[in-house]
Amino acid sequence: MNKQIIKRIEPKESVSMNIEHAIEKEAEITDLSQYGFTTFFEKQITEEDKNKNLIPARVIEIHREVFKVVSSYGQSTARLKGANFYAENTSVEYPAIGDFVMIQKNQGGEDIIYRLLDRKSFFSRANPTLGMGEQVVATNFDYVFLMESLNFDFNLAKLERYLTVAWESGGSPVVILTKADLCEEVEDYVEQVESIAPGVDIFPISSVTGEGLEEVLDYIKPGKTVVFLGSSGIGKSSLVNALAGEEVMETNEIREIDSRGRHTTTHRQLILLPNNRIIIDTPGMRTLGIWNANDGVSETFSDVEDITRMCKFSNCNHDSEPGCAVKEALENGNLTMKRWKSYLKLKREARFMERKARMSKQTMKIKKKGK
């Protein structure tokens, strides 16, 4: 694919020069497997798709209704086929960052997105614009990097919450402890994390000294997609740059800031690193709450749930009932009060979000009827 075409269709105002530069170097794209296309997606392509000359593509950026995609023809912009996505009485999902879609190439114009392929993993959050419903923010990733910094704001409870969300998403959680250069007791922290995340891989890293970066790069296999989950300032952008070996993301020091003194990330993106590792870094991921996380809670707290199942009564409130296994475990130290409280808190939150989701579905139904 030649650079001319790619240049012409870049939405200039919204893509930072650095990323454009990085992408240009990847302009010779012929193989979508570099972008994570596997047999899982290939198998979904039908005869009908082929008859219509549809080809697979991955969504790498979204600007309102304009999608930036990459296919065997390289990068292009595309729009949804109205009849397939906007027709009344259909409830098809719109593509999100990371999605594989079937497109029709349109020489000299925008490509048309016909349909969405099934996802192997996704993150969603409560829709912030409508105040209701669910919004998918990232899809088809293999690993979820749960990021916590090793300096003052290290927070195990938050990590537990991320873990819950990650299990739920379909990706594999990996804990990344950032800013190791600022911490003297790295091993202590690693042990603390091990206690709440048994069996999960943990990497202490520093984007400043380079500690742990080789290990992380080795760990991500080519063609695999990673999403980052972590609070602002934890070092996500710095890690992307460090892994890429060049400045593909702006970090805090050199950013434009808005009136509240904070950087505002305005678009979502999927970044292809050298050696075909893929990172999804979207603002949506940065405001992720807990949504339908009940199963995830159970995975993260399987030890706690094992205990609750040993209570004498199946509907035990773990309060003052006789034969309460939780009470016993708290007394003999098999369960810490802290972990029990985290569990109860996440349970409550998950239940609340579920109720909210049910309510919003009802509201939508009522609205549709009333229309």
Ligand X SMILES: Nc1nc2c(ncn2[C@@H]2O[C@H](COP(=O)(O)OP(=O)(O)OP(=O)(O)O)[C@@H](O)[C@H]2O)c(=O)[nH]1
81 part of the interface to ligand X, by CB under 6 A: no
235 is in an annotated binding site: yes
Specify the residue, 251 or 360, whose C-beta has the smaller distance to ligand X.
251
Smallest distance, ligand X to C-beta of residue 239, A: 7
63 binds, among ligand X, Zn ion, none (CB under 5 to 8 A by kind): none
Smallest distance, ligand X to C-beta of residue 267, A: 13
Task: Rule CB under 6 A: choose which of 34, 76, 169, 178 binds ligand X.
Answer: 178
282 part of the interface to ligand X, by CB under 6 A: no
Specify the residue, 104 or 251, whose C-beta has the smaller distance to ligand X.
251
Smallest distance, ligand X to C-beta of residue 254, A: 9
60 part of the interface to Zn ion, by CB under 5 A: no
Residues in 237-256 at the binding interface with ligand X, rule: CB under 6 A: 237-238, 251-253
238 is in an annotated binding site: yes
183 is in an annotated binding site: no
267 binds, among ligand X, Zn ion, none (CB under 5 to 8 A by kind): none
181 is in an annotated binding site: yes
| Number of residues near ligand X (by CB under 6 A) | 19
311 part of the interface to Zn ion, by CB under 5 A: yes
Specify the residue, 147 or 307, whose C-beta has the smaller distance to Zn ion.
307
280 is in an annotated binding site: no
For the CA atoms of the chain, what is the radius of gyration?
Answer: 23
232 part of the interface to ligand X, by CB under 6 A: yes
Specify the residue, 29 or 205, whose C-beta has the smaller distance to ligand X.
205
Residues at the annotated binding site? 178-181, 230-238, 311, 316, 318, 324
Residues lying near Zn ion in the complex (CB under 5 A) are found at: 311, 316, 318, 324, 326
Residues lying near ligand X in the complex (CB under 6 A) are found at: 178-179, 181-182, 206-208, 232-238, 251-253, 263, 286
